[in-house]
Protein backbone atom coordinates (compact mmCIF):
# COMPACT_ATOMS: atom_id res chain seq x y z
CA UNK A 1 0.00 0.00 0.00
CA UNK A 2 1.44 3.40 -1.06
CA UNK A 3 1.88 6.25 1.41
CA UNK A 4 -0.31 9.35 1.61
CA UNK A 5 2.38 11.31 -0.21
CA UNK A 6 5.41 10.24 -2.16
CA UNK A 7 8.83 10.71 -0.64
CA UNK A 8 9.75 13.07 -3.49
CA UNK A 9 6.69 15.28 -2.93
CA UNK A 10 7.30 15.34 0.80
CA UNK A 11 10.96 16.30 0.46
CA UNK A 12 10.21 18.87 -2.24
CA UNK A 13 7.47 20.64 -0.25
CA UNK A 14 9.36 20.58 3.04
CA UNK A 15 12.46 21.99 1.34
CA UNK A 16 10.47 24.91 -0.15
CA UNK A 17 8.85 25.43 3.26
CA UNK A 18 12.31 25.69 4.82
CA UNK A 19 13.30 28.46 2.36
CA UNK A 20 10.24 30.75 2.32
CA UNK A 21 9.64 33.91 0.27
CA UNK A 22 10.04 37.35 1.87
CA UNK A 23 8.10 40.35 0.61
CA UNK A 24 9.88 42.57 3.13
CA UNK A 25 12.05 44.58 3.02
CA UNK A 26 10.64 46.36 -0.02
CA UNK A 27 12.44 46.57 -3.36
CA UNK A 28 13.18 50.30 -2.91
CA UNK A 29 14.85 50.01 0.51
CA UNK A 30 18.55 50.75 0.82
CA UNK A 31 19.25 47.20 2.00
CA UNK A 32 17.58 45.55 -0.99
CA UNK A 33 18.98 48.04 -3.50
CA UNK A 34 22.55 47.52 -2.34
CA UNK A 35 22.23 43.76 -1.94
CA UNK A 36 20.51 43.06 -5.25
CA UNK A 37 21.37 46.01 -7.51
CA UNK A 38 24.72 47.17 -6.15
CA UNK A 39 23.59 50.67 -5.21
CA UNK A 40 20.64 52.85 -4.27
CA UNK A 41 19.04 53.66 -7.62
CA UNK A 42 16.47 56.23 -8.58
CA UNK A 43 15.08 59.53 -7.36
CA UNK A 44 12.32 60.66 -5.04
CA UNK A 45 12.90 64.38 -5.61
CA UNK A 46 14.29 66.81 -8.20
CA UNK A 47 16.83 68.75 -6.13
CA UNK A 48 18.84 66.35 -3.96
CA UNK A 49 22.51 65.97 -4.80
CA UNK A 50 22.69 64.53 -8.30
CA UNK A 51 24.88 61.42 -8.44
CA UNK A 52 24.23 59.94 -11.89
CA UNK A 53 22.60 61.22 -15.06
CA UNK A 54 21.81 59.74 -18.49
CA UNK A 55 22.79 61.82 -21.54
CA UNK A 56 23.43 61.53 -25.27
CA UNK A 57 26.02 63.51 -27.23
CA UNK A 58 24.57 64.53 -30.62
CA UNK A 59 26.13 62.67 -33.53
CA UNK A 60 25.47 61.17 -36.95
CA UNK A 61 21.70 61.05 -36.38
CA UNK A 62 21.64 64.82 -36.97
CA UNK A 63 22.40 64.24 -40.67
CA UNK A 64 18.72 63.46 -41.25
CA UNK A 65 18.05 67.21 -41.17
CA UNK A 66 17.62 68.41 -44.77
CA UNK A 67 18.10 72.16 -45.42
CA UNK A 68 15.86 71.95 -48.50
CA UNK A 69 12.82 71.10 -46.38
CA UNK A 70 11.98 74.52 -45.05
CA UNK A 71 8.44 75.12 -43.81
CA UNK A 72 7.98 78.75 -44.78
CA UNK A 73 4.69 79.32 -42.98
CA UNK A 74 6.32 78.23 -39.69
CA UNK A 75 9.77 79.71 -40.29
CA UNK A 76 11.23 76.32 -39.39
CA UNK A 77 12.27 73.03 -41.01
CA UNK A 78 10.89 69.52 -41.14
CA UNK A 79 9.75 66.45 -43.04
CA UNK A 80 5.99 66.91 -42.92
CA UNK A 81 5.32 64.12 -45.40
CA UNK A 82 7.43 61.39 -43.83
CA UNK A 83 7.14 62.68 -40.26
CA UNK A 84 10.77 61.70 -39.68
CA UNK A 85 12.20 64.97 -38.30
CA UNK A 86 11.58 68.60 -37.50
CA UNK A 87 13.68 71.53 -36.31
CA UNK A 88 11.89 74.32 -34.50
CA UNK A 89 14.59 76.95 -34.92
CA UNK A 90 14.84 79.25 -37.93
CA UNK A 91 18.55 78.44 -38.37
CA UNK A 92 19.83 74.94 -38.92
CA UNK A 93 22.21 73.32 -36.42
CA UNK A 94 25.95 73.09 -36.79
CA UNK A 95 26.88 69.69 -35.36
CA UNK A 96 30.35 70.68 -34.15
CA UNK A 97 28.95 73.70 -32.32
CA UNK A 98 26.18 71.62 -30.77
CA UNK A 99 28.68 69.02 -29.64
CA UNK A 100 30.82 71.74 -28.09
CA UNK A 101 27.87 73.04 -26.06
CA UNK A 102 26.89 69.53 -25.01
CA UNK A 103 30.49 68.79 -24.01
CA UNK A 104 30.51 71.95 -21.87
CA UNK A 105 27.34 70.79 -20.09
CA UNK A 106 28.84 67.33 -19.53
CA UNK A 107 32.00 68.90 -18.12
CA UNK A 108 29.97 71.16 -15.81
CA UNK A 109 28.13 68.13 -14.47
CA UNK A 110 31.33 66.17 -13.90
CA UNK A 111 32.81 69.19 -12.13
CA UNK A 112 29.85 68.92 -9.74
CA UNK A 113 30.74 65.30 -9.03
CA UNK A 114 28.01 63.80 -11.24
CA UNK A 115 28.63 60.51 -13.05
CA UNK A 116 27.50 60.86 -16.66
CA UNK A 117 26.17 57.74 -18.39
CA UNK A 118 26.17 58.19 -22.16
CA UNK A 119 23.98 56.41 -24.69
CA UNK A 120 26.34 54.71 -27.14
CA UNK A 121 24.43 55.42 -30.33
CA UNK A 122 21.12 57.06 -31.16
CA UNK A 123 18.29 55.14 -32.75
CA UNK A 124 18.65 55.49 -36.55
CA UNK A 125 17.62 58.97 -37.64
CA UNK A 126 16.29 59.94 -34.21
CA UNK A 127 17.86 63.39 -34.03
CA UNK A 128 16.15 64.22 -30.72
CA UNK A 129 17.83 61.38 -28.82
CA UNK A 130 19.86 64.12 -27.11
CA UNK A 131 16.77 64.98 -25.04
CA UNK A 132 17.12 61.99 -22.71
CA UNK A 133 14.77 63.44 -20.11
CA UNK A 134 11.80 62.40 -22.24
CA UNK A 135 12.64 58.72 -22.67
CA UNK A 136 13.47 57.89 -19.06
CA UNK A 137 12.08 58.85 -15.63
CA UNK A 138 14.04 58.28 -12.43
CA UNK A 139 11.78 57.05 -9.61
CA UNK A 140 12.31 55.28 -6.29
CA UNK A 141 14.39 52.19 -6.89
CA UNK A 142 15.13 52.61 -10.59
CA UNK A 143 13.76 54.03 -13.81
CA UNK A 144 10.72 53.98 -16.07
CA UNK A 145 11.30 53.79 -19.82
CA UNK A 146 8.65 55.93 -21.45
CA UNK A 147 6.78 55.67 -24.76
CA UNK A 148 7.37 58.77 -26.86
CA UNK A 149 4.46 60.29 -28.73
CA UNK A 150 5.33 61.27 -32.31
CA UNK A 151 6.89 59.16 -35.06
CA UNK A 152 9.79 61.63 -35.00
CA UNK A 153 10.78 60.28 -31.57
CA UNK A 154 9.43 56.74 -31.41
CA UNK A 155 12.38 54.37 -31.21
CA UNK A 156 14.54 56.41 -28.82
CA UNK A 157 13.38 54.03 -26.10
CA UNK A 158 15.56 51.11 -27.26
CA UNK A 159 18.99 52.79 -26.91
CA UNK A 160 17.89 54.15 -23.54
CA UNK A 161 16.92 50.65 -22.38
CA UNK A 162 20.30 49.32 -23.49
CA UNK A 163 22.17 52.12 -21.68
CA UNK A 164 20.23 51.51 -18.46
CA UNK A 165 20.97 47.80 -18.65
CA UNK A 166 24.69 48.42 -19.13
CA UNK A 167 24.69 50.75 -16.13
CA UNK A 168 22.88 48.13 -14.03
CA UNK A 169 19.86 50.36 -13.38
CA UNK A 170 16.61 48.52 -12.55
CA UNK A 171 13.88 49.19 -15.12
CA UNK A 172 10.64 49.20 -13.17
CA UNK A 173 8.29 49.68 -16.14
CA UNK A 174 8.29 50.25 -19.86
CA UNK A 175 5.20 52.20 -20.82
CA UNK A 176 3.19 49.95 -23.12
CA UNK A 177 -0.12 49.54 -24.92
CA UNK A 178 -1.38 52.87 -26.23
CA UNK A 179 0.06 54.79 -23.28
CA UNK A 180 2.08 57.90 -24.13
CA UNK A 181 4.54 59.38 -21.67
CA UNK A 182 7.48 61.76 -22.02
CA UNK A 183 9.63 62.44 -18.99
CA UNK A 184 9.82 66.18 -19.51
CA UNK A 185 6.25 66.25 -18.25
CA UNK A 186 7.10 64.58 -14.92
CA UNK A 187 8.28 66.60 -11.91
CA UNK A 188 8.99 65.55 -8.34
CA UNK A 189 7.58 68.41 -6.24
CA UNK A 190 8.88 66.80 -3.06
CA UNK A 191 9.44 63.27 -1.76
CA UNK A 192 6.17 61.39 -2.00
CA UNK A 193 4.51 63.84 -4.41
CA UNK A 194 4.93 64.24 -8.16
CA UNK A 195 3.07 66.05 -10.93
CA UNK A 196 2.50 65.03 -14.55
CA UNK A 197 1.49 67.50 -17.24
CA UNK A 198 -0.87 65.78 -19.65
CA UNK A 199 -0.66 67.02 -23.23
CA UNK A 200 -0.57 65.89 -26.84
CA UNK A 201 2.55 63.90 -25.82
CA UNK A 202 1.26 62.49 -22.53
CA UNK A 203 -2.10 60.74 -22.27
CA UNK A 204 -3.98 59.20 -19.37
CA UNK A 205 -2.82 55.70 -20.32
CA UNK A 206 0.81 56.68 -19.85
CA UNK A 207 0.04 58.74 -16.77
CA UNK A 208 -1.72 55.83 -15.11
CA UNK A 209 1.21 53.47 -15.76
CA UNK A 210 3.67 55.87 -14.12
CA UNK A 211 1.28 56.35 -11.22
CA UNK A 212 1.11 52.60 -10.66
CA UNK A 213 4.89 52.45 -10.27
CA UNK A 214 5.31 55.36 -7.86
CA UNK A 215 2.31 54.24 -5.78
CA UNK A 216 4.23 51.08 -4.92
CA UNK A 217 6.66 53.39 -3.10
CA UNK A 218 3.81 55.31 -1.42
CA UNK A 219 4.06 58.37 -3.68
CA UNK A 220 1.07 60.38 -4.90
CA UNK A 221 0.51 62.01 -8.28
CA UNK A 222 -1.09 65.31 -9.31
CA UNK A 223 -2.42 65.64 -12.86
CA UNK A 224 -2.24 68.97 -14.67
CA UNK A 225 -3.63 69.43 -18.18
CA UNK A 226 -1.39 71.69 -20.24
CA UNK A 227 -2.88 74.16 -22.70
CA UNK A 228 -2.82 74.09 -26.49
CA UNK A 229 0.13 72.23 -27.95
CA UNK A 230 2.47 72.74 -25.00
CA UNK A 231 4.48 69.53 -24.76
CA UNK A 232 5.90 69.20 -21.27
CA UNK A 233 5.47 70.71 -17.84
CA UNK A 234 9.22 71.38 -17.58
CA UNK A 235 8.64 74.27 -19.97
CA UNK A 236 6.72 75.93 -17.15
CA UNK A 237 7.99 74.44 -13.89
CA UNK A 238 11.37 73.18 -12.65
CA UNK A 239 12.28 72.62 -9.00
CA UNK A 240 15.55 74.38 -8.06
CA UNK A 241 15.56 74.04 -4.26
CA UNK A 242 13.71 72.05 -1.64
CA UNK A 243 10.96 74.66 -1.44
CA UNK A 244 11.56 76.73 -4.60
CA UNK A 245 10.58 76.37 -8.26
CA UNK A 246 11.31 78.50 -11.29
CA UNK A 247 8.06 78.91 -13.22
CA UNK A 248 6.29 80.45 -16.16
CA UNK A 249 2.88 81.13 -14.58
CA UNK A 250 1.28 81.95 -17.94
CA UNK A 251 1.52 78.26 -18.86
CA UNK A 252 0.09 76.77 -15.66
CA UNK A 253 -3.54 76.76 -14.48
CA UNK A 254 -4.44 79.01 -11.58
CA UNK A 255 -5.57 76.14 -9.36
CA UNK A 256 -2.13 74.54 -9.68
CA UNK A 257 -0.35 77.81 -8.86
CA UNK A 258 -2.49 77.91 -5.73
CA UNK A 259 -1.56 74.28 -5.02
CA UNK A 260 2.12 75.17 -5.15
CA UNK A 261 1.48 77.93 -2.61
CA UNK A 262 -0.43 75.48 -0.43
CA UNK A 263 2.53 73.08 -0.55
CA UNK A 264 4.87 75.87 0.53
CA UNK A 265 6.71 75.96 -2.79
CA UNK A 266 8.05 79.43 -3.51
CA UNK A 267 7.84 80.49 -7.17
CA UNK A 268 10.49 82.48 -9.02
CA UNK A 269 8.74 83.63 -12.17
CA UNK A 270 10.84 84.00 -15.32
CA UNK A 271 11.10 87.48 -16.79
CA UNK A 272 10.88 88.61 -20.45
CA UNK A 273 14.56 89.58 -20.26
CA UNK A 274 15.63 86.01 -19.41
CA UNK A 275 17.05 83.91 -22.24
CA UNK A 276 14.47 81.48 -23.62
CA UNK A 277 16.19 78.41 -22.17
CA UNK A 278 16.77 79.70 -18.63
CA UNK A 279 13.73 77.98 -17.10
CA UNK A 280 14.84 74.64 -18.53
CA UNK A 281 17.57 74.24 -15.93
CA UNK A 282 18.86 71.46 -13.67
CA UNK A 283 19.46 71.36 -9.91
CA UNK A 284 22.64 69.48 -9.02
CA UNK A 285 22.00 69.88 -5.30
CA UNK A 286 19.58 71.99 -3.25
CA UNK A 287 20.03 75.60 -4.27
CA UNK A 288 22.70 75.01 -6.94
CA UNK A 289 21.50 75.05 -10.54
CA UNK A 290 23.08 74.60 -13.96
CA UNK A 291 21.29 77.13 -16.15
CA UNK A 292 21.58 78.35 -19.72
CA UNK A 293 23.57 81.58 -19.96
CA UNK A 294 21.49 84.71 -20.32
CA UNK A 295 19.53 84.97 -17.07
CA UNK A 296 18.39 88.56 -16.52
CA UNK A 297 19.75 90.69 -13.64
CA UNK A 298 16.24 90.73 -12.16
CA UNK A 299 15.98 86.95 -11.97
CA UNK A 300 19.62 86.55 -10.95
CA UNK A 301 19.10 88.99 -8.06
CA UNK A 302 16.01 87.13 -6.86
CA UNK A 303 17.85 83.83 -6.92
CA UNK A 304 20.90 85.31 -5.22
CA UNK A 305 18.72 86.74 -2.44
CA UNK A 306 17.55 83.19 -1.71
CA UNK A 307 21.07 81.82 -1.71
CA UNK A 308 20.53 79.92 -4.97
CA UNK A 309 23.71 79.57 -7.01
CA UNK A 310 23.75 79.56 -10.81
CA UNK A 311 26.30 77.66 -12.90
CA UNK A 312 25.93 79.23 -16.38
CA UNK A 313 26.42 77.13 -19.50
CA UNK A 314 25.96 78.25 -23.12
CA UNK A 315 23.23 76.01 -24.55
CA UNK A 316 21.27 78.16 -26.99
CA UNK A 317 22.13 76.14 -30.11
CA UNK A 318 20.74 72.95 -28.65
CA UNK A 319 17.73 74.78 -27.22
CA UNK A 320 16.78 75.78 -30.78
CA UNK A 321 16.13 72.10 -31.45
CA UNK A 322 13.35 72.04 -28.87
CA UNK A 323 14.98 71.31 -25.53
CA UNK A 324 17.41 72.77 -23.02
CA UNK A 325 19.62 71.62 -20.17
CA UNK A 326 16.78 69.98 -18.24
CA UNK A 327 15.60 68.17 -21.36
CA UNK A 328 19.12 66.91 -22.08
CA UNK A 329 19.60 65.24 -18.69
CA UNK A 330 17.76 62.30 -17.17
CA UNK A 331 18.69 61.79 -13.49
CA UNK A 332 19.20 58.15 -12.47
CA UNK A 333 20.42 58.65 -8.90
CA UNK A 334 19.76 61.53 -6.52
CA UNK A 335 20.23 61.82 -2.77
CA UNK A 336 17.03 62.04 -0.75
CA UNK A 337 16.26 65.35 0.93
Three-point CA angle 308, 318, 276, nearest 5°: 50
Q: For the chain, what percent of residues have pLDDT higher than 90?
A: 96
**Residue 1: pLDDT band with limits 50, 70, 90:** low
Convert 23-56 to b/e letters by CB count within 10 Å (16 or more is b): eeeebbeeebbeeebeebbbbbbbbbbbbbbbbb
Sheet hosting strand 244-247, strand order edge to edge: 237-241, 244-247, 266-269
> Shortest CA distance to 164 belongs to which of 41, 310, 34?
41
Q: How far apart are CA 332 and CA 38, in angstroms?
A: 14
Domains of the chain are: 22-334 (3.75.10.10)
Q: What is the pLDDT of residues 129-153, one digit of tens each?
A: 999 999 999 999 999 999 999 999 9
Average pLDDT over residues 202-207: 98
Residues 312/318/320/323 CA torsion (nearest 10 deg): -80
Residue 225 scores a pLDDT above 90: yes
Q: What is the pLDDT of residues 279-330, one digit of tens each?
A: 999 999 999 999 999 999 999 999 999 999 999 999 999 999 999 999 999 9
Residue 206 scores a pLDDT above 90: yes
Does residue 142 contact residue 41 with C-beta atoms inside 8 Å? yes
Amino acid sequence: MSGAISEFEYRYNMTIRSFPSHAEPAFETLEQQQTVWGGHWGCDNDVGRLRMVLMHRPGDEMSIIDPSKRIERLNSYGDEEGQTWYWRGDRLPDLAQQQAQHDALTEALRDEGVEVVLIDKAAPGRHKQIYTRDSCIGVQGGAIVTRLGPIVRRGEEAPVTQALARAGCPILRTVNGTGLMEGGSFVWLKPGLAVIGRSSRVNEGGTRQVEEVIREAAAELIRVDLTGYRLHIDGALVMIDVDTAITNPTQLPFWFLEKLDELGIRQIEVHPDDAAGCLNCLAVRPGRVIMQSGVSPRTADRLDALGIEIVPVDYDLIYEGGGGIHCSTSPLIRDSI
